[in-house]
Every structure is written in structure tokens, then in C-alpha cells.
Chain A
Amino acid sequence: MRRILTLALCACCAAPAIAADMNITVEIPSLKVAEYHRPYVAVWIEREDHTVAANLAVWYEMKKGDGEGTKWLKDMRQWWRRSGREQSMPIDGVSGATRPAGQHRLRFADGKPPLGTLAPGHYELVVEAAREVGGREAQRIPFDWPAKAPVHLSAKGSEELGQIDLDINP
């Protein structure tokens, strides 16, 4: 009994030390179009006043010369307005090359960049995709931070985004 109590106590003490984390799955749908280019995708967290709490991912064409890759960043209109236009690319630990169609898993830990430490409150996860000679779409998932228990949230895109999953572990 005493041992169990000790164990329980340990678990209680240990819990806050295990950092909360956030797992995000972004699905890029495969599209049957004549001219396909991988989409530019931005993933970020917005506060209630729409200011950006954290940029989590920006996938864009990094290899092209002559600034041709950065030229289209503004097509992710919401991200560009909220945060992108303030950034100098590439963003360390955030930006990366465009990705193919399929599901892409991202994991972020509390207290570590790029998520950092979020103040307790109400937020929105925003995923925006813009495709050359294609369309543009943004999906939002509201969530509270920190979570008291594991939370699973999702949104479904209709054109340029597929299933978006957000799992928060306290």
C-alpha cells in the first residue's frame, strides 16, 4: 500500500515535468490536374486577437534561384499578412521544402522551439495551403492551452487541404 502511494506520488510529481506536446497531421490531397505543383503550406498558432503565437512550419520552394521561391510566399495570404511579411526566409527550425501529397506528421514539444511556451489561453491552429496555378485554402482548429486531458481535434479541407488532426497531450 505504501509502495503504491509512493508510486502514485511519484507519478503526480513527475507529470508536470513531462512536457506537454502537440501532434499535428496535415494531409495534402492528391489532385488530378494537368499541371501540378506541390503546394506552399504554412502552419501556425494564432492568439484570439489574431496575432501569431508561433510559426510551426512553412513549406516552400527553397531551391529555385533568383528569389523565385520566395516570390510566391505572399500567396499564403493569411499567413503573409499575420506573420510572413515580417519574417526573413528561411526560418530556422520552421521552414522547409515543399512536400508531396500524403499525410505529414509534425510533433512539437512545450517549451521547445518552434512552439515555445504558450501562455494559458484560447488559440487557433491555422493551416494554409496555396498552390501554383491552383487554389488556396485555410483551415482553423480552435483549442485551449494547456489541455487538462488528452484532446483530439480535427478539421477537413475541401480543395487544397485534406484531413487536419491536432492531438494535444497535457
Chain B
Amino acid sequence: MKHTLARAAFCAALVLPLAAQAHKMWMVPSATVISGDDAWVTVDAAVSNDLYYPDHFPAKLDQLVITAPDGSPVKPENAATGKYRSTFDVPVPQKGTYRLALVNQGMFASYEVDGQKKRWRGTPEEFKGAIPAGAKNVAVSEMASRVETFVTQGSPSDGALKPVGKGLELVPVSQPNDLMAGEKATFRLLLDGKPAANLKVVAINGATRYRNAQDEMDTTTDSDGKFSFTWPAAGMYWVNASTEDSHTSVKEAKNRRLAYTATLEVLPQ
């Protein structure tokens, strides 16, 4: 049962980039702008339909990567995974901006042996020999997704925001914890470290349960990968972009699915 649930969650995460309108993966911190050296944040992480009500699956915390302002990794505290959501705490003693990321990278395959449907998932390194010889209807694909949010204690900094150079990533032009209603914010999307041009980016304010329309805003990245939104109101915005390419790690994989999601808090003036 537990396995089935985990697999279902994993599958949900896999199909997420292409079915973003159905299920949304997110992390929501208890605060994004923090004063005081003894501060902590507590974070919810889930896959849901409504923003930000856990109603579907918890996020898998083994993919969690937290980076402190000085670039060092931070271990989450009090991590727990429930039926609908995962939760963890992060101490934020350093001044500057922390990056919290759920990094999902992997391959998945489906095939048939003796008429039986089988599934496999793992890393590109594990792929060799994973599919038995003589398997039929082998379909292999690769995915790389990143779900992020940001927390700043004191003045913003960019030490934790350096791109990794793999998959879809957001590089701030506007500081992600310095967003105000009515102001324009600009970011840059990179694909494997290069500008992700001409990519659709959507933004949806949270609390969708209390309105009839999603009120989705969208825009397209320019040749430099840059995009901007002027936030119409304060709130916790879910910003998402996804794409597909054929730059796979192994030749058996035909395509690679890529997705980037950020939860960005916009404060009132």
C-alpha cells in the first residue's frame, strides 16, 4: 500500500510538467521575509489541484535541497510526510537569501515481458541492464524538474541562487523576496545553463479555492530567457514553465521533460 502510494506520487510528479493544469507541485514557507537571527520557517510541500490546499499527494522530501546564503547545504528539521502533504522546518540564522528546492531528476521506462506490463525508474547510471533482454514495447524517457521557493533573513543576497546548469532553472533579475504588488518583477529562465528562449511562463495567485477563476497570467521568455510579471495583488504566486527536448542522457530515451516551478510571495505596498 505504502509502495503503491509512493509510486502514485512519483507518477503524479512525473506527469506533472505536461499536465500542470491538473496537479500543481509546490512548497509554501510560513514566511519569506524574516527579521531576527533566531528565526525559523516551517514549510509545506505537496502536489494539489487547488493552490495551496494539500488535497492530492505529499511531496517527496528525499529530493529536498536547501542552500544557505553562503552556499552551504542546510539539513531540514522535523521532516514528516503525511497523507496529503510533507512538512519540514528550516532554521535561518544567516543573513541573506536561502533557496529551497525539490530537485527531481530521473528516467522512467515501461516495457512488456511475456505480455506483462512492467515499469522501471532510476538514474541514467542505473539504466544499463535495467530492461531485460527481449522486452517488448520499450518506452524510455527522462525528466528533470525543480520546485523552488525562497526565504530571506535581513538583506537579500544571491550566493544561494547561482544556477546549477542542469535542467530548467530560474535566475533572479528582481530579488525573489523583494516583490511588491503593483511592481514589475523580472527573472531569467535557463535550460542547461543557457537562456531558455520563447518559453511560456504562467503565474497564478494562491487561494484559488475562494474564487471561481484561476486568473492565470502568462507571458513568454525573450531571446535572453527573460520574462516579467507585474503583480496585480499581494499573494503567494505559483510560477511555472515546462518544456520538452531530446537532450537525453542515454540514447534509448527519446525525450526529456523539463519543468520549473517557484512559489513567490508578493507583499502589499
| A interface residues, Cβ below 8 angstroms from B | 66-74, 77-78, 80-81, 84-86
18 pairs, A vs B, C-beta closer than 8 Å:
A67-B36, A67-B37, A70-B35, A70-B36, A71-B38, A72-B35, A74-B33, A74-B34, A74-B35, A77-B33, A77-B268, A78-B269, A80-B35, A85-B33, A85-B35, A85-B154, A85-B156, A86-B154
With contacts A74-B33, A86-B155 taken as known, whether A67 is within 8 angstroms of B178 at the C-beta atoms is no
Chain B interface size band reads: 10 to 19
- SS class, residues of chain A in contact with chain B: helix
Whether A71 contacts B178 by the Cβ 8 Å rule is no
Whether B154 contacts A71 by the Cβ 8 Å rule is no
Partner of B155, one of A72, A78, A85: A85
Q: Is B113 an interface residue (CB 8 A)?
A: no
| CB 8 Å contact bits of B21-60 with A (1 = contact, 0 = none) | 0000000000001111111000000000000000000000
Whether B39 contacts A67 by the Cβ 8 Å rule is yes
- Nearest-neighbor residue (CB-CB) of A69 within chain B: B36
A4 to B155: give the CA distance in the assembly, Å.
58
Residues of B within 8 A of A77 (CB): 33, 267-268
- Nearest-neighbor residue (CB-CB) of B95 within chain A: A85
Partner of B39, one of A71, A78, A81, A84: A71
Residues of A within 8 A of B180 (CB): 81
- Nearest-neighbor residue (CB-CB) of B178 within chain A: A81
Whether B268 contacts A73 by the Cβ 8 Å rule is no
Partner of A73, one of B36, B38, B178: B36
| B interface residues, Cβ below 8 angstroms from A | 33-39, 152, 154-156, 178, 180, 267-269
Q: In this complex, which of B35, B37, B180, B269 has the most chain A Cβ atoms within 10 angstroms of its Cβ?
A: B35
A69 to B37: give the CA distance in the assembly, Å.
11
A72 to B152: give the CA distance in the assembly, Å.
14
Residues of A within 8 A of B267 (CB): 77
Extra contacts besides A73-B35, A85-B33, A86-B155 (4): CB < 8 Å: A67-B39, A71-B39, A72-B35, A74-B33
How many A-B residue pairs have C-beta atoms within 8 angstroms? Tell me. 37
A32 to B131: give the CA distance in the assembly, Å.
72
A26 to B97: give the CA distance in the assembly, Å.
34
Residues of A within 8 A of B34 (CB): 74
User: A126 to nearest B CB, angstroms?
Assistant: 13
Residues of B within 8 A of A67 (CB): 36-39
Residues of B within 8 A of A70 (CB): 35-37
A70 to B93: give the CA distance in the assembly, Å.
13
Whether A80 contacts B33 by the Cβ 8 Å rule is yes
Residues of A within 8 A of B38 (CB): 66-67, 71
User: A98 to nearest B CB, angstroms?
Assistant: 15
Whether B36 contacts A71 by the Cβ 8 Å rule is yes
- Nearest-neighbor residue (CB-CB) of A78 within chain B: B269
User: B267 to nearest A CB, angstroms?
Assistant: 6
User: A71 to nearest B CB, angstroms?
Assistant: 4
A77 to B35: give the CA distance in the assembly, Å.
11
Residues of B within 8 A of A74 (CB): 33-35
User: A70 to nearest B CB, angstroms?
Assistant: 4
- Nearest-neighbor residue (CB-CB) of B180 within chain A: A81
User: B127 to nearest A CB, angstroms?
Assistant: 47
A66 to B37: give the CA distance in the assembly, Å.
9
A88 to B267: give the CA distance in the assembly, Å.
23
A80 to B156: give the CA distance in the assembly, Å.
12
A72 to B39: give the CA distance in the assembly, Å.
10
Residues of B within 8 A of A86 (CB): 154-155
User: B242 to nearest A CB, angstroms?
Assistant: 32
Residues of A within 8 A of B155 (CB): 85-86
A80 to B39: give the CA distance in the assembly, Å.
16
A84 to B39: give the CA distance in the assembly, Å.
16
- Nearest-neighbor residue (CB-CB) of B31 within chain A: A74
User: B96 to nearest A CB, angstroms?
Assistant: 10
User: B24 to nearest A CB, angstroms?
Assistant: 28
**Nearest 10 pairs of A and B residues by beta carbon:** A67-B38, A70-B36, A74-B35, A71-B36, A73-B35, A67-B36, A85-B155, A85-B154, A74-B33, A70-B35
